[in-house]
Homo-oligomer: A and B are copies of this chain.
Amino acid sequence: MGVIRLGYVHLRVTDLDSSTEHYRNTLGMDAVAEEDGRLYLKSWDEHDHHSVVLEEGGVGLVKLGYKVATPEDLDEFEHRATVFGARVQRMSKGDNVGVGDGLRITLPSEHTLELYNDVEYLGNATGSWNPDPWPREGLRGIGVPRLDHTLITTADPILLERFFSEVLGFRAAERLVGGPDNDDLVGSWMFCGEQPHDIAFVKGEQGKLHHFAYHVDDWTSLLRAGDIFSMRDVPIDFGPARHGITRGETLYFFDPAGNRNEIFAGGYRTGPDFRTITWTMDKAAQGINYTHRELDPDFLNVVT
């Protein structure tokens, strides 16, 4: 069946307290566990144990977790990743609070990717019996409903795209290409289900995080989020704006450690028959920031 979604982002933050304030009270996630100096958080419309892990010390990604549909997928992915030449380990129940046995793969981009199927089910905040559309007890801050995707950097986008395609069955919804013949892959936005992207990567330093994103309802959510960021002194990178790539609506900002977050709305429906869209470098700025058609150099250069 394959990979079903980005399950968790495990992050380093310089100061756990200020980042806890950010993820809990500004974004509105709930703390579900704290163990060994790691804080486990969950958004209100997520069902599994957690989607963000904060670990004090430094910045950037510790690892990404993607959930797979069946335990058998793990065997198949282990086999394929090994054939591909990636470093693969089994991970054990308890390596992550609430998560069972799984697979730990070192991507060609040097990021650590964990695949798992077994994870503790907590259910979302509205329940499964005559549910309200959102929690009637209210939400804190932005009240992000769920994690959506991540964008990482890699020295070799072609190799990483091959990995996600051949090993994990992802497809490219959109690709940014450069070079004189438009055959140099600069970035790829790949999906495993029906969204425009579940993982994306652009050419850059190995092992770095550009951002990870939460899905929010709509464009109006971005205005309100921007207000909250202003009230709470959260630095904004860019947005609210339209993406050309994915057609979504976006607002980028930073956690107190400097890790870039995004809230993202909209997009289109993909699927196994979706034909890849191509962006060329002369339109790259429009592809990323369709509204403004220009990018601050920091947007390209700041990664953690």
Tell me, rounded to whole Å, the shortest Cβ–Cβ distance linking A217 to chain B. 7
Question: What's the Cα separation between A287 and B132 when bound, in Å?
Answer: 9
Give chain B nearest CB distance to A262 CB in angstroms: 15
Contact A193 B1 (CB under 8 A): no
Instruction: Tell me the A262-304 residues at the B interface (CB within 8 Å).
Output: 266, 268-269, 271-280, 283, 286-287, 290-293
Asked if A230 contacts B130 (CB within 8 A), the reply is no
Q: Which of B133, B279, B291, B292 contacts A130 (CB 8 A)?
A: B279
Distance in angstroms between the alpha carbons of A189 and B128 in the assembled complex: 14
How far apart are the CA atoms of A67 and B134 in the complex, in Å? 33
| A33 is an interface residue with CB less than 8 A from chain B | no
User: B227 and A290: CB pair below 8 A?
Assistant: yes
- A51 nearest CB across to chain B (Å): 13
Quick check: is A104 within 8 A (CB to CB) of the other chain? Answer: no
**Copies of this protein, total:** 4
Which residues, 50 to 70 on A, are CB-close (under 8 Å) to B? 67, 69-70
Nearest B-chain residue to A232, judged by Cβ: B136
Number of A interface residues at 8 Å Cβ cutoff, please give it.
62
Contact A271 B4 (CB under 8 A): yes
B230 & A291 in contact (Cβ 8 Å cutoff) = yes
* Contact code string A235-274 (vs B, CB < 8 Å = 1, else 0): 0100011101001010000000000000000101101111
Residue ID in chain B nearest A265 by CB atoms: B218
Q: How far is the CA of A278 from the CA of B129 in the complex (A)?
A: 5
> Nearest Cβ distance between residue A29 and chain B, in whole angstroms?
17
Q: CB distance B133 to A227 under 8 Å? A: yes
Expressed in whole angstroms, the Cα–Cα distance for A154 and B132 within the complex equals 27
- B-side contacts of A277, CB under 8 Å: 128-129, 131
**Which residues of chain B have C-beta atoms less than 8 A from A194's C-beta?**
193-195
Interface residues of A in 183-221 (CB under 8 A from B): 193-195, 215, 217-220
